[in-house]
Structure 1
Amino acid sequence: MFIDRARIYVEAGDGGDGMSSFRREKFVEKGGPNGGNGGRGGDVVLIADKNLNTLIDFRYKRKYVAKRGGQGGTKNCTGVRADTVFVKVPMGTLVRDDATGAVMADLVEDGQTYTAAKGGRGGKGNACYVTSTNRAPTFAEKGEPGETRWLKLELKLLADVGLVGYPSVGKSSIIAQVSAARPEIAAYHFTTLSPVLGVVRLDEERSFVLADIPGLIEGAHEGVGLGHDFLRHVERTKVLLHIVDVAGVDGRNPIEDFDKINTELAEYSERLARRKQLVVANKMDLPEAQENFERLKEYVEAKGYEICKASAATGEGLRELMFKAYDLLLQYVPEEDEEDLARFDEIDPDSYEIVVGNDTDWEVRGKNIERLVAMTNFDNDEALYRFQLIWKRLGIDEALKERGVQEGQSVRIRDMVFDYKE
């Protein structure tokens, strides 16, 4: 089964908690703090694998969770760093953030990786907080929470040459003739429901990957007839072989079919409209083909396209067609990638916003302040005092007053809720 879309959940491991401990040895009257740092939590990393060609595995497993880092130990021992969880995906997988739709990565090369969720930093042990004024700190940090998110995976086939055209024009028959691919071939529309890849070998040194894209119909660029699902796989091809039923079986008009398919390609993507295209007049073995061919040839050449005769049924012209496709492949010049592959805008980690809460009067959101709450042990007086100092440095108290916070109103930061007091 060919699956080209999936939605998965990734959760990196939390950092290990720092240790609060003191050196205690015989004849050492006042051993100093020696609590070690916690270990970093495990990452979740996507890795492109050339041996995969579908996202079907993600139908059965959607959740990928890394382990937590080890807790810091005594004698300044750092906790164990958790192992990275590697998730294999096919080459050609586009990774999007599920919440925003932003493109996070495009994995097109074998072994290419993307860190989908980063493990949390280990909390600092109390030995890290020794100062000239505080020689024996009793508090240690908790581990930083690991990143979590839902991701959308979209597979776009990596093929050199793509076969496009209306249903039943002979695309599957052509790929079956010129490669070892064996798609289903039958006398009804939409026999091919999934893209099929085949390797075309011209000789010992020359070969390319050919993709049979399921038939397009009018309105495909708007999603009609699974148009978006099919057109997505054409995007990465370097050359298009536009297959036309020149015999006009089922009363079709070859010129109208040619125009409509090109319109769908252009409406879906301007880059597809500029892609090198070779028109293939298929079914030349049928009686009506020759007369229609002359009209089609005159029309497509006037539009600047080259046209070739072929017959998938007899194999006539297919070898010459593959050599021409290979020549066009050698002439391919990649365009600058116009797709927005930008990650989320980098923001100041100290920045925050104060909004009206869903279940509280107010909510404070910000990278550093939320991390600080998660990593602070509020049961320890020294840790609480440190939290208050950072809170003051960030100016959150003044910002809350400017928003109109009132005495006794509830304020949420991450999972902590408190009542505001002057």
Structure 2
Amino acid sequence: MFIDFAKIYVSAGSGGNGCVSFRREKFIPKGGPDGGDGGNGGNVIIVVDSNLNTLQDFKYKKKYIAENGLNGSNSNKKGGNGKDIIIKVPAGTVIKKHGMDEVFADLVDINSKKIIAYGGKGGKGNAKFATSTNQSPRKFEKGIKGDFDNFELELKLLADVGLVGLPNAGKSTLLAKVTSAKPKIADYPFTTINPNLGIVKFENFNSFLMVDIPGIIAGASSGKGMGIQFLRHIERTLFLLIIIDITNNNPKKILNTILDELKKHNPQLIKRQRIIVFSKVDLISKNFKLPKINNEEVISISSATGEGIKKLISLISAKLKH
């Protein structure tokens, strides 16, 4: 199962308490204070792991608690620090505090990390409170409580090119044609129920990453269909391919529907570079003229026969270089 959203509770460790102690040795019956400081609590740290590509692990574990620092002891011994707890996530994970729109962290790079809850500082032992006027202090500090909070994790896949279209428009077939990805393909709507990623390789060992998301329908931004919950996965793309089945009678209406839903989800998406791709041209007459849609750049392809595929890949690669 592809999981791209999770809620977790985290709690950093609390600091250990300082110690009240006095030096007591055989020939020093009235030694000074020697209570050590408490150790610091462990932090909660999120780290990007290149081996992960979903938030699947958070389906089973939702609480992450770091170790507390140990209390100080006599002979000025500082308590040990609590161990940090490491939470591993895939690249592209966005972190928000629960109920907040503001992004707390956006982890894109491999091995990047973020402390999301700091451990509490250990308290001072009584040795730290000795003065010239008070050489036997009984004062000490308790450790400070560690941070704790609820967070939301949202995965936005990292891809160069996003495939967008109505259900059964031919997006998955195109992805399978130009990459080694193996998305589910069938002659009925909503075959794609999860995003699919694939690497497109072309000349001179160059490549780009392509993502296919479930089909969009009118009202998707209001929760209809399946595409809306996955639109976040095209937010990071540099380029969009809007796939339209050439056998459909009203391509302009389809394009307007798709652009309207993209705009409602994120207005920046309709400003993204795009090409309108008419798919399934093998199903129409050779004399058929492609419809002109405003000032949109249009190309026709057939994933079944390979017609137009090489031209499309060359066009995308040229645009990505610029």
Q: How does 1:18-417 map to 2 (within 5 A)?
A: 18-248=18-248, 252-287=249-284, 291=288, 293-294=289-290, 296=291, 298-299=292-293, 302-303=294-295, 305-331=296-322
Q: Distance in 1 between matches of 2:154 and 2:286?
A: 39
Q: Which has the higher contact order (CA 8 A, sep 6+)?
A: 2
Q: Distance in 1 between matches of 2:93 and 2:70?
A: 33
- 8 Å Cα contact 2:190/2:226 also seen in 1: no
Deviations 1:115-163 (A, max 9, x none): 1111111111111112233221113211111111111111111111000
Q: Which amino acid aligns with 1:203?
A: E
Q: Distance in 1 between matches of 2:276 and 2:159?
A: 18
Q: Distance in 2 between matches of 1:312 and 1:26?
A: 90
Q: Distance in 1 between matches of 2:315 and 2:49?
A: 31
Partner in structure 2 of residue 391 of structure 1:
none
> Could you list the runs of 5+ residues in structure 1 that have no partner in the other structure?
332-422
Deviations 1:159-197 (A, max 9, x none): 110000111010000000000100000111000010000
Q: Distance in 2 between matches of 1:315 and 1:64?
A: 50
Q: Classify the secondary structure of the residue corresponding to 2:225.
A: helix
Deviations 1:185-226 (A, max 9, x none): 011100001000001111352001100111111122223223
Using the TM superposition, give the Cα deviation of residue 5 of structure 1 relative to its aligned residue in structure 2, in angstroms.
Answer: 0.6
Using the TM superposition, give the Cα deviation of residue 313 of structure 1 relative to its aligned residue in structure 2, in angstroms.
Answer: 1.4
Q: Which amino acid aligns with 1:267?
A: K
Deviations 1:333-354 (A, max 9, x none): xxxxxxxxxxxxxxxxxxxxxx
- Give the number of the structure whose alpha-carbon radius of gyration is greater: 1
As a proportion of its length, which structure holds more helix? 1
Q: Which amino acid aligns with 1:271?
A: Q
TM-score scaled to structure 2, two decimals?
0.96
Q: Distance in 2 between matches of 1:21 and 1:228?
A: 63
Q: Distance in 2 between matches of 1:5 and 1:125?
A: 44
Q: Distance in 1 between matches of 2:287 and 2:140?
A: 84
Q: Classify the secondary structure of the residue corresponding to 1:224.
A: coil
Q: Classify the secondary structure of the residue corresponding to 2:281.
A: coil
Moved more, 73-82 or 184-193: 73-82
Q: Distance in 1 between matches of 2:223 and 2:314?
A: 33
Partner in structure 2 of residue 17 of structure 1:
17
Q: Distance in 2 between matches of 1:188 and 1:99?
A: 37
Partner in structure 2 of residue 366 of structure 1:
none
Using the TM superposition, give the Cα deviation of residue 12 of structure 1 relative to its aligned residue in structure 2, in angstroms.
Answer: 0.8
Q: Which amino acid aligns with 1:208?
A: F
Using the TM superposition, give the Cα deviation of residue 267 of structure 1 relative to its aligned residue in structure 2, in angstroms.
Answer: 2.2
Deviations 1:303-330 (A, max 9, x none): 2x21111001112111221121111212
- 8 Å Cα contact 1:247/1:288 also seen in 2: no
Structure 1 moving runs of 4+ over 4 Å: none
Q: Classify the secondary structure of the residue corresponding to 2:277.
A: strand
Q: Which amino acid aligns with 1:317?
A: G
Partner in structure 2 of residue 404 of structure 1:
none
Q: Distance in 1 between matches of 2:110 and 2:51?
A: 9
- 8 Å Cα contact 1:39/1:69 also seen in 2: yes
Q: Classify the secondary structure of the residue corresponding to 1:150.
A: strand
Q: Which amino acid aligns with 1:32?
A: G
Q: Classify the secondary structure of the residue corresponding to 2:257.
A: helix
- 8 Å Cα contact 1:35/1:127 also seen in 2: yes
- 8 Å Cα contact 1:216/1:230 also seen in 2: no
> Could you list the runs of 5+ residues in structure 2 that have no partner in the other structure?
none
Q: Distance in 1 between matches of 2:319 and 2:168?
A: 25
Q: Classify the secondary structure of the residue corresponding to 1:133.
A: coil
- 8 Å Cα contact 1:91/1:109 also seen in 2: yes
Q: Which amino acid aligns with 1:282?
A: S
Q: Classify the secondary structure of the residue corresponding to 2:260.
A: helix
Q: Classify the secondary structure of the residue corresponding to 1:21.
A: coil
Report how many residues are paired.
322
Using the TM superposition, give the Cα deviation of residue 28 of structure 1 relative to its aligned residue in structure 2, in angstroms.
Answer: 1.8
